[in-house]
Amino acid sequence: MAGLNHYLLLSAIMFSMGVVGFFLRRNVIVILMCVELMLNASNLALAAFAQFSNTIDGKVIIFFVIGIAAAELATGLSIVICLFRNRETVFVDEMNLMKQ
Amino acid sequence: MLEYIWLIPALPLIGFIINGIIGFRIRKHVVSLVGCGTVFISFLIALMVFREFILLDPEQRFFQKILYTWVSSGSFNASIGFQLDPLSAVMSLVVTGVGFIIHVYSIGYMGHDPGYPRYFAFLNLFMFSMLILILANNFLLLFVGWEAVGLCSYLLIGFWYEKKSAADAGKKAFIVNRVGDFGFIIGVILIFYTFGTVEFKSVFEKLPGMIKAGAVDPFLLTVICLLLFAGATGKSAQIPLYVWLPDAMEGPTPVSALIHAATMVTAGVYMVSRSCIIFAYAPYALDVVAFIGALTALFAASIGLVQNDIKRVLAYSTISQIGYMFLACGVGAFAAGIFHLTTHAFFKALLFLGAGSVMHAIEGETDITKMGGLKEKMPITHITFLIGALAIAGIFPFAGFFSKDAILAGAFERSPYLWFMGISGAMLTSFYMFRVVFLTFYGESRFPHEVSHHIHESPPVMLIPLITLGILSIIGGFIGIPMIEGGNRIGEFLDPVFHNATTILGKAHHEDFLMEVMLILISLIIALGGIYLAVMFYLKKTYLPGYFQEKIPSAYRLIFNKYYVDEIYDYLFVNSIKSFSIWLWEFIDTVIIDGAVNGIAYLTRGIGSIMRRIQTGFVQSYALSIIIGAFVILAYYLFRIRM
Amino acid sequence: MEGVLFWVFGALAVAGTLVVILSRNPVNSAIGLLFCFFTTACLYVLLDAQFVAVIQVLIYAGAIMVLFLFTIMLLNLETDIKKEVTSPGTRILGISIGSGILFEIALLLWHYRITPFLGTYTPEKLSLTGNIQAIGRSIFRDYILPFEILSVLLIIGIIGAVVLAKRD
């Protein structure tokens, strides 16, 4: 009963939630979580396509995406820790030295 | 030898290059040698060419040498070529001969001047330009020479450029010339438009045929002639563009002698004579030429009556005498005009060089009211100057007598009024000339004491040119003696050039012997009368000038101030152009152009300060731009699909 | 049955995302994200991608969320609602852009039934060999290069994390 379109719509909803959350929150860790949300949403779309087009490639790509997400997150969080050590803050609007 | 005609202008050019580039490094003797030597060799070549020329038949006296094609664009062709016919032969002899004499004189006169090499370089450049002008075979090359002599005139008038009056005089000369040249170049363009060529031979040969076929508008011809004459009034200092010549006396005296007496200022006469056939078909233009010539002759002579600067008197005298030459051309007596050009070159150069000799002896004083009694201390200068004065007054048998009479005879044939203007001018000429002679050389010495101690005759290098010119002023007239069998050589020689023009104008050789003798006698009496008056005013009853000055002060002031012409020009033209230029500067340059340039800078800065705000440092704004980009791309594809 | 399950799990996933973006406490957001991952794994199972679901739970929910929670604990943040939300301007922009994208995709999906090209891996064939073998075969045959690159990337991630986070 659930067709491809439904899965894609669901994926789109989750993705736009991630976008909204990205601009809504000031805490950098939460922002990273929203990035993970977006990645997750696209994973879902990939799986849906893999299922409904009888291919295996979508699932393989998910595999890779998850791997990349892990590496990226590890690095990102260590950067956050560094920043926290320097600035004593995790709020993005206080980290705007690049303006100068 | 004719093949080497191109050497005549080329040699002074080489002299200019040598003296111009390394002149300040070589010794003064070498500079003089190069400067005078090149002109001397040019003169010799001109002589040899002339000799070969007169061995030819009168019909064959025409030679062209084309060096190469200069402009060839579409239907317009102009080449660098030289043309030799009786007219240019005579002119080249006069220019190189008198030029050489003046070069030698300059060795003495400018001997102590620090700019000695520069002087000779410019003088050679002038000789080159003048010879190009004379020997050119087309209007364009003539114009090149025309402009170049104007340039040399500017360089040499403003030779002592640290002196403000000299620099200003140079500028004035060039600018006034430019006004005339503007008319001249339009005339040349119209000639090309009418005839399809600017080469003399082609134009002059085409013209009669075109007139017969009715292919050329007579009005257009008149316009062309008037435009050409406008250029001539500028270069040859006639009304209304004569105002630069008196100021040009700021230059060294040999320059005044060469350029502003003997050669450059006669370029206009040469050009009109060269184009005689065009003028012949435009009789209205010829009348204008004659009238302006006569008017200028009279007008300038009247100004010369009361000037106190010896060089100014001579300058106005030159303007007046060139007026006579144009008068001759205007009444169709072209040969007489060229004859007078030749004799004038002799005696006017003599007078200028004599004045220079006097100035050299008295530390540069030019005011004749401060001179006097020089005839004992400077005998040779005195004698030669007197010869020049007699020549210009037109006393038999000096040179000026024959040439001036030829002109007046031609004028009388055309119109008695013109003749009357000419004869009045002659009276004024002899009067003011002898006024100068008497005030300078005779009477009591009015010098300050220290100066009169040092007065001495000039060195031989200056005297020999004076003597040479004096001899030429005496015998020079004999080439044009009328009425005598075998006489009027110059008229016959020049006839092939002017033949067609004079036939068209219907000037037959007048055989009225009595009328000619009458005219000659009248002019002689008038000239002698002028001298007598001068003797009265300045030798015997010396109270007379002061008496007249008191009686008619306004008239005296008017003439003394040159009829306020300079002031009128200033008010009419100079000030209006100056204020226009200032307005241009203040408004267009400062506001518009600077505003535009500065405005662009402000705009860039403004946009920059706006764009700077993109660099916020906020992560979210950067991400925003990414997301907006994605949104826009998506929207675009949506539109593509839906539409 | 499947249809109902899809709706259930879908609603739960959306609820999880709402928790992530709206809670004031970052730990709450992390829990919400965890919940979202779990429901997504369930959705994967519905899509006949069991291996992917397991991987999701293991790595995402297991490792990544733990990492998040450790970091949050390490930073020892205070929770102040006033400071948790961005300025109104950014908020409006973000919400509008997010809803804009959603709107576009919804529009597309509303009008078109997307039918992709059909490949060879039918569900019957898949159930024959099993998911894991199929994916493994695909990775090590067709996608071997990305696989190697991914391993290099992971090493880089490790080194980067160590270098950045150590105290010097």
Contact between A31 and B618 using a beta-carbon 8 Å cutoff = no
- Asked whether A48 and A8 are in contact (CB, 8 A), the reply is yes
For residue B607, the distance in angstroms to the closest alpha carbon of chain C comes to 23
Most confident of the following: A59-73, B496-510, B565-579, C72-86:
A59-73
Averaged pLDDT for residues C48-52 = 89
**B620 and C CB contact within 8 Å:** yes
Averaged pLDDT for residues B303-314 = 88
Enter the pTM of the model: 0.69
Most confident of the following: B571-575, C92-96, C111-115:
C92-96
Tell me the pLDDT band of C58, cut-offs 50, 70 and 90: very high
pLDDT value at residue C93: 83
pLDDT value at residue B486: 47
Task: Give the separation between CA B159 and CA B117, rounded to whole angstroms.
Answer: 12
Find, in chain B, the residue whose alpha carbon is nearest to that of A93: B618
pLDDT value at residue B590: 77
Tell me the pLDDT band of A45, cut-offs 50, 70 and 90: very high
The chains found to touch C (3+ Cβ pairs under 8 angstroms) are A, B
Identify the CA nearest to B386 among candidates B271, B446, B469: B469
Higher pLDDT among residues B500 and B124, named by residue: B124
ipTM value, please give it: 0.88
> Per-residue pLDDT tens for B229-266?
999 998 888 888 888 888 888 889 999 888 877 787 88
Name chain B contacts of A92, Cβ cutoff 8 Å: 618-620
**B603 and C CB contact within 8 Å:** no
pLDDT value at residue B580: 86
pLDDT value at residue B642: 75
Q: Which two tokens stand for residue C29?
A: 């957001």
Q: Which two tokens stand for residue B481?
A: 């003696």
């004491």: which residue's tokens? B449
> Per-residue pLDDT tens for A2-18?
788 899 999 999 999 99
Contact between C93 and B624 using a beta-carbon 8 Å cutoff = yes
pLDDT value at residue C18: 93
Between the CA of residue C135 and those of A59, C53, C112, C142, what are the distances in Å?
A: 7, 13, 30, 10
pLDDT value at residue B562: 76
Identify the CA nearest to B133 among candidates B102, B68, B70, B87: B87
Contact between A96 and B616 using a beta-carbon 8 Å cutoff = yes
Task: Give the separation between CA B330 and CA C43, rounded to whole angstroms.
Answer: 116
Averaged pLDDT for residues B287-297 = 91
* Residue B615 DSSP one-character state: -
Tell me the pLDDT band of B442, cut-offs 50, 70 and 90: confident
Identify the CA nearest to B428 among candidates B392, B391, B474: B392
Contact between C108 and B641 using a beta-carbon 8 Å cutoff = yes
Name chain B contacts of A100, Cβ cutoff 8 Å: 617
HEC string of B225-240 equals HHHHHHHHHHHCCCCC
Identify the CA nearest to B232 among candidates B351, B142, B348, B102: B142
Q: Is the pLDDT of residue B542 over 80?
A: no
> Per-residue pLDDT tens for B330-361?
888 888 888 899 899 999 999 999 998 888 88
> Per-residue pLDDT tens for B159-176?
988 888 888 888 888 988
Taking each helix axis from N to C terminus, what angle separates B86-109 and B489-504, rounded to the nearest 10 degrees? 130
Name chain B contacts of A31, Cβ cutoff 8 Å: 619-620
**B514 and A CB contact within 8 Å:** no
Q: Is the pLDDT of residue B507 over 70?
A: no
Q: Is the pLDDT of residue B223 over 60?
A: yes
Q: Which two tokens stand for residue B307?
A: 């000037």
Between the CA of residue C102 and those of A9, B63, B497, C108, what are the distances in Å?
A: 8, 97, 100, 10
Contact between B635 and C104 using a beta-carbon 8 Å cutoff = yes
Between the CA of residue A13 and those of B279, B629, C166, what are the distances in Å?
A: 99, 19, 39
Longest CA–CA separation in chain B, Å: 119
Residue C76, classified by CB atoms within 10 Å of its CB into exposed (0-12), middle (13-18) or buried (19+), is exposed
Task: Give the separation between CA B192 and CA B323, rounded to whole angstroms.
Answer: 29
> Per-residue pLDDT tens for B471-481?
888 887 776 66
Nearest-CB residue to C97 (from B628, B638, B642): B628
Between the CA of residue B473 and those of B8, B383, B386, C11, C154, what are the distances in Å?
A: 25, 12, 11, 127, 114
Tell me the pLDDT band of B485, cut-offs 50, 70 and 90: very low
Q: Which residues, other chains included, contact B604 with Cβ-Cβ below 8 Å and sequence gap of 6+? A: none
Averaged pLDDT for residues A31-51 = 93
pLDDT value at residue B508: 55
Higher pLDDT among residues A2 and B48, named by residue: B48
Distance between alpha carbon B319 and the CA centroid of its chain, in Å? 10
Task: Give the separation between CA B600 and CA B604, rounded to whole angstroms.
Answer: 6
Q: Is the pLDDT of residue A76 over 50?
A: yes
> Per-residue pLDDT tens for B373-428?
788 788 888 889 999 999 998 888 888 888 888 888 888 888 888 888 889 999 99
pLDDT value at residue B470: 87
pLDDT value at residue C168: 67
Could you tell me whether strands B63-73 and B76-84 are parallel, antiparallel, or unpaired per DSSP bridges? antiparallel
Identify the CA nearest to C21 among candidates A15, A17, A14: A17
Question: Could you give the percent of chain B with pLDDT greater than 90?
Answer: 17
Averaged pLDDT for residues B211-222 = 82
CB atoms under 10 Å from CB of B118, counted, come to 18
Task: Give the separation between CA B624 and CA B626, rounded to whole angstroms.
Answer: 5
Question: Could you give the percent of chain B with pLDDT greater than 70?
Answer: 93
* DSSP, residue by residue, B86-140: HHHHHHHHHHHHHHHHHHHHHHHHTTT-TTHHHHHHHHHHHHHHHHHHHHBSBHH
CB atoms under 10 Å from CB of B556, counted, come to 16
What is chain B's mean pLDDT, rounded? 84
The strand ranges marked E within B461-616 are none
Tell me the pLDDT band of B451, cut-offs 50, 70 and 90: low
pLDDT value at residue A42: 95
Tell me the pLDDT band of A46, cut-offs 50, 70 and 90: very high
Q: Is the pLDDT of residue B302 over 80?
A: yes
Name chain A contacts of B615, Cβ cutoff 8 Å: 98-99
CB atoms under 10 Å from CB of B300, counted, come to 28
Task: Give the separation between CA B351 and CA B98, rounded to whole angstroms.
Answer: 13
Which A positions 22-61 lie with beta carbon below 8 A of chain C?
22-27, 29-30, 32-34, 36-37, 40, 43-44, 47-57, 59-60
**A95 and B CB contact within 8 Å:** yes
Distance between alpha carbon C58 and the CA centroid of its chain, in Å? 12
In sequence order, the β-bridge partners of residue B76 are B73
Q: Which two tokens stand for residue B330?
A: 């205007």
Nearest-CB residue to B627 (from C86, C97, C111): C97
Q: Which two tokens stand for residue B41?
A: 């060799």
Contact between A33 and C40 using a beta-carbon 8 Å cutoff = no
Averaged pLDDT for residues B35-43 = 91
The SS3 of residue B342 is helix
Q: Is the pLDDT of residue C14 over 70?
A: yes
CB atoms under 10 Å from CB of B104, counted, come to 21
**A12 and B CB contact within 8 Å:** no
pLDDT value at residue B305: 85
* Residue B252 DSSP one-character state: -
**B618 and A CB contact within 8 Å:** yes
pLDDT value at residue C114: 76
CB atoms under 10 Å from CB of B175, counted, come to 14
Identify the CA nearest to B100 among candidates B152, B40, B48: B40
**B626 and C CB contact within 8 Å:** no
- Asked whether B222 and B282 are in contact (CB, 8 A), the reply is yes
Q: Is the pLDDT of residue B559 over 60?
A: yes
Q: Is the pLDDT of residue C46 over 50?
A: yes
HSE-CB at B123 with a 13 A cutoff on CA atoms is 37
Contact between C101 and B628 using a beta-carbon 8 Å cutoff = no
pLDDT value at residue B481: 62
* Residue B332 DSSP one-character state: T
- Asked whether C116 and A4 are in contact (CB, 8 A), the reply is yes
Between the CA of residue C134 and those of A66, C40, C55, C84, C125, what are the distances in Å?
A: 18, 21, 15, 45, 10
Higher pLDDT among residues B492 and B272, named by residue: B272
Averaged pLDDT for residues B88-97 = 88
For residue C140, the distance in angstroms to the closest alpha carbon of chain B comes to 33
Contact between B620 and C101 using a beta-carbon 8 Å cutoff = no
Tell me the pLDDT band of B142, cut-offs 50, 70 and 90: very high
Which own/partner contact pairs does B558-566 have at CB distance under 8 Å and 24+ positions apart? B559/B302, B559/B303, B559/B305, B559/B306, B560/B306, B560/B307, B562/B246, B562/B303, B563/B299, B563/B303, B565/B243, B566/B243
> Per-residue pLDDT tens for B126-136?
999 999 999 98
For residue A13, the distance in angstroms to the closest alpha carbon of chain B comes to 15
Q: Is the pLDDT of residue A100 over 50?
A: no
pLDDT value at residue A98: 53
Contact between C46 and A1 using a beta-carbon 8 Å cutoff = no
Q: Is the pLDDT of residue B198 over 70?
A: yes
**C101 and B CB contact within 8 Å:** yes
Between the CA of residue B287 and those of B229, B235, B418, B489, C109, what are the distances in Å?
A: 12, 20, 10, 27, 99
**C92 and B CB contact within 8 Å:** no
